[in-house]
Amino acid sequence: MVTIFTRIIDGEIPGTFVWRDDECVAFMSINPMAHGHTLVVPRAEIDHWVDCPVALSRHLFDVSHVIGRAQQAAFACDRVGLIIAGYEVPHTHIHVIPTFDMSQLSFANAAGHVDRDSLEAAAEAIRSALRADGRSEVV
């Protein structure tokens, strides 16, 4: 069954992307725990992250690291948290979340709605930081 993330990756459903390469993409969460919350998602539909080939897992974490550094530059956050839960969508994804406080790392705090202008502003801040870092994968 095609996941909602595959539909976003394929352009059937809108997504606010900040990164694309041959193995994965990164786009803004529509239920952010914090401003700038980004999802790193493999193109391959793999339900559970432990089923990812090791090379793909390594790549997803490498990209999460790059996105996290861009979030630090863009938002001057104290920390960048990572969450791999896997219950929300049956398609492996890493939540990369710029934070100022540990309490932000809770799905209970996820926004039920996000303003499109705020989402695009956060994405553009991340893209700018990625461009400044010389990244060609920026969307």
* pLDDT tens digit at each of 139 positions of the chain: 799 999 999 999 999 999 999 999 999 999 999 999 999 999 999 999 999 999 999 999 999 999 999 999 999 999 999 999 989 999 999 999 999 999 999 999 999 989 999 999 999 999 999 999 999 999 8
d(CA 84, CA 21): 20
**DSSP SS3 for 82:** strand
Q: What is the CATH number of the domain that holds 7?
A: 3.30.428.10
49 in a domain, yes or no? yes
Q: What is the pLDDT of residue 3?
A: 97
Does some domain include residue 65?
yes
- From the list 47, 45, 48, 6, the residue with the least C-alpha distance to 27 is 6
Task: Tell me what pLDDT residue 111 has.
Answer: 95
Does a structural domain hold residue 38? yes
Residue 33 maps to a domain = yes
In the chain, the number of structural domains is 1
| The pLDDT of residue 1 | 76
Domain annotation covers residue 107: no
In a domain, 59, yes or no: yes
| Sheet with strand 24-28: strands edge to edge | 17-20, 24-28, 38-42, 94-99, 79-83
**Which residues are CB-neighbours of 99 under 8 A, at least 6 positions away?**
34, 77, 78, 79, 80, 81, 105
Domain with 30, as residue range(s), is 1-72
Q: Which residue in 89, 10, 82, 85 sits closest to 43, CA to CA?
A: 10
Q: Is residue 1 part of a domain?
A: yes
Helix pair 54-75, 116-132: axis angle to 10 deg:
100
Give a yes or no: residue 111 inside a domain.
Answer: no
Tokens of 78: 């104290």
Least Cα distance to 120 among 32, 33, 45, 51 occurs for 32
Contact (CB, 8 A) for 32 and 107: no
